[in-house]
Amino acid sequence: MTMWRRIYAIFVGRNREFLRDRASLSWNLILPVALVFGLSFAFDGQRDEFTVGVLQSGTDVDTAAHPFFTTRYIDFVPYDDVDEALLKVERHQLDLLVDPGPPLRYWVNPEAAKGYFAEIALLQSASADADVLVKEQISGDPIRYSDWVLPGILGMNMMFSCLFGVGYVIVRYRKNGFLKRLRATPLRAFEFITAQIASRMLLIMLITSFVYTGTHLLLDTRMEGSYLTLFIIGAVGAISMVSLGLIVSARVTSEELAGGLLNLINWPMMMLSGVWFSLEGAGDTLRGISQIFPLTHVLDAARAVSLDGATFVDVAPSLGALIIQSIVFIAIGSAIFRWEQY
């Protein structure tokens, strides 16, 4: 039997095993849909707080630059990229954008109600110098929370399914002696790992595509870019996260230990990758740590395509990071993989 036939045999067997597990299949389909609809119902309204962008370098807004920056109940967020900040004003994600100048220049979306009140607060704080304020207007439709969170929920579902669907299952195979029996065949560790990655990627992409299509049609979520590019991002991201799960399962013999280790990876990745909220206001250290996780690159690229209309070339750096991570994870997993418990 050739190498590819051995890989195909394991690939088909794993797919059949998953499809026979109706509970897991239903969970992978129902959970993301329920989360998207629930969060859309709860958070698709107006934001409670005012958010004002400030064009400057550095991570802390200089409150001495203008009296407006001491206004209470306004969250001032620094930006060094004017195009990025203007895009957020256009989408109602920023109520106002201010360039301290001099002269002080600000941008407001005339269609945003909160932008109107933020502008009043700015003018009142600068009443004595009103003649040196330069006003610019920029219009655009708002981005709903459901538009922003949909890639996050699908990415989270992909993360859990990839890590637990491979990592936990392989440990179970090792514990019940299935891997020991496979060792008596010509199958090599690399072939077994390749089949597991291919099987999980195919299943995850089918489920994710089905869920995305349904929620996109029902909620009319925003899609500015290419569906093909979005699919490629998902596929490469799935390979990276499956490969990460293989490292955990390569030598672990206890399902309890595997579950603990996988949760140790899952929860920090979910909290620091921007699933539920943006890390724009976080410090440089926290954002640097988030770049370690594959899910961060998946969500950054997916949101760039769906919300900003980014092209394949635009998201190539994120795809490159995911490919490098996949190669490293597969190499480590293959090197330390063990067939038996002892």
Q: Could you read off the pLDDT of 190-245 as tens digits, one per residue?
A: 888 888 888 888 888 888 888 888 888 888 888 988 999 999 999 999 999 988 98
138-162 pLDDT, tens digit each: 777 777 888 888 899 899 888 988 8
- Structure confidence at residue 47 (pLDDT): 53
Q: What value, to the nearest 5°, has the Cα angle with vertex 84 and ends 39 and 295? A: 50
Residues 6+ away with beta carbon under 8 Å from 27: none
Q: At what angle do helices 294-308 and 316-336 cross, to 10 degrees?
A: 150
User: Count of alpha carbons within 13 Å of 162, Cβ hemisphere only?
Assistant: 32
Residue 102 preceded by cis peptide, ω within 30: yes
- Kindly report the number of other CB atoms within 10 A of residue 190's CB atom: 16
Name, of 11-15, 26-30, 321-325, the range with top average pLDDT: 321-325
User: Count of alpha carbons within 13 Å of 137, Cβ hemisphere only?
Assistant: 5
Q: Lowest mean pLDDT: which of 170-174, 281-285, 319-323?
A: 281-285
- Band (pLDDT 50/70/90 cuts) for residue 132 is low
- Structure confidence at residue 323 (pLDDT): 95
Tokens 């309204």 locate to: 45
pTM for this model (two decimals)? 0.75
pLDDT beyond 90 at 257? no
- Structure confidence at residue 240 (pLDDT): 92
Residue 100 preceded by cis peptide, ω within 30: no
Phi first, then psi: give them for residue 51, nearest 5 degrees.
-130, 125
